[in-house]
Amino acid sequence: MHIFVHMGTESNILVIDAGNTSVKVAQFIGGNLVSVTPYAFEEMKFEFGNDTKTTAVISSVLSVEKTAQIVELFENSTLITSSTSLPLNLEYTTKNTLGIDRICNAVFAATASTSDHAVVIDIGTCVKFDLIHKEKGYLGGSISPGIDLRYKSLNDYTGNLPLLSDRTSLPLLGTDTNTSIQSGVINGLKGELQEFMSQYKSEFKDLTFFVTGGDARYFDLDAKNDIFADRNLTIKGLYEIYKFNA
């Protein structure tokens, strides 16, 4: 595994975002994102085993063991961590515990935003808000459970509530147990998102929101001019880190 030693400017680069739900493999050719393919973890071994030709840039929120297995699939690979040189400062007291997905999101927002502040909202396994200042860098944020974790907690910590997964938006009033759970989870998260955004807007006047994550499409957050949705935001931020170090 190489750690940014004379990596050069290869025209064909794989950028790999290993998340909790899937491993996304993006192909950049000549600096342009041309494809993004999600894989289950086990599929990676069959698809990319012993790849000695392609440069792979990897970020992972998986276990150390699983991350190492992905890195070892490629002879020319670089694992991005919180200790990697970054194009922005991290104003975070425990930098070594800051998730690499949050760092990649922050890097992209810092690169793309023209406002004094940018907020990345990542709606996936967890719901993450991250605040970036154009000069001070990454300032911090918040983490709360995503949709599946909320459903699972209701099932795990009660005796009779079923495990649901439906993302469909519902009216406020559930008319049976399932729709009551669904309303609580989906409408509850929607209310949380709206309130957090309102608080950020009131505290930081010159502000742009960036929305990403697998469940972002269920909440229609990109309906206003100061909100930009990009499902590949983490991958693009990871590529920006590669370019900064190459």
* pLDDT tens string 181-235: 999 999 999 999 999 999 999 999 899 999 999 999 999 886 666 899 999 999 9
Give the containing element (helix H, strand E) for 244: helix 233-245
Q: 25: which strand partners?
A: 16, 37
Residues 217 and 145 in one domain: yes
Q: Does 235 map to a domain?
A: no
Residues 70 and 136 in one domain: no
Q: Does 107 map to a domain?
A: no
pLDDT of residue 7: 45
Residues 219 and 143 in one domain: yes
Residues 32 and 58 in one domain: yes
Q: What share of the chain is helix, strand, coil (3-state, %, to 5)?
A: 35, 25, 35
Tell me the CA distances in angstroms from 180 to 118, 135, 198, one per residue in order.
Answer: 35, 45, 26
Cβ count near 121 (within 10 Å):
25
Q: Does 30 map to a domain?
A: yes
Q: Does 176 map to a domain?
A: yes
Residues 204 and 182 in one domain: yes
pLDDT of residue 51: 61
Tokens 């020319």 belong to residue: 76
Q: Does 2 map to a domain?
A: no
Q: Does 66 map to a domain?
A: yes
CA-CA distance, 66 to 124, in Å (whole number)? 20
Q: Does 124 map to a domain?
A: yes
SS3 state at 245:
helix
CA-CA distance, 106 to 171, in Å (whole number)? 34
Domain residues for the domain of 216 are: 90-102+115-229
Q: Indicate if the pLDDT at residue 246 is higher than 90.
A: no
- Greater pLDDT, 70 or 53: 70
Residues 142 and 31 in one domain: no
Residues 75 and 152 in one domain: no
Pairing of strands 126-133, 117-123: antiparallel
- Greater pLDDT, 154 or 62: 154
Q: What is the pLDDT of residues 57-112, one digit of tens each?
A: 999 989 999 999 999 888 888 999 888 999 999 999 998 889 999 999 999 999 99
What CATH number does residue 31 fall under?
Answer: 3.30.420.40
Contacts of 139-144 spanning 24+ positions with Cβ under 8 A: 139/91, 140/91, 140/92, 141/102, 142/196, 144/192
Token couple for 28: 């950049």
Residues 27 and 97 in one domain: no
Global model pTM greater than 0.85:
yes
Residues 219 and 98 in one domain: yes
Number of domains in the chain: 2
Residues 129 and 191 in one domain: yes
Residues 55 and 164 in one domain: no
Q: Indicate if the pLDDT at residue 240 is higher than 90.
A: yes
Q: What amino acid positions are annotated as catalytic residues?
A: 101
Residues 122 and 203 in one domain: yes
Task: Give the burial class of 77: count Cβ atoms within 10 A of its Cβ; 0-12 exposed, 13-18 middle, 19 or more buried.
Answer: buried
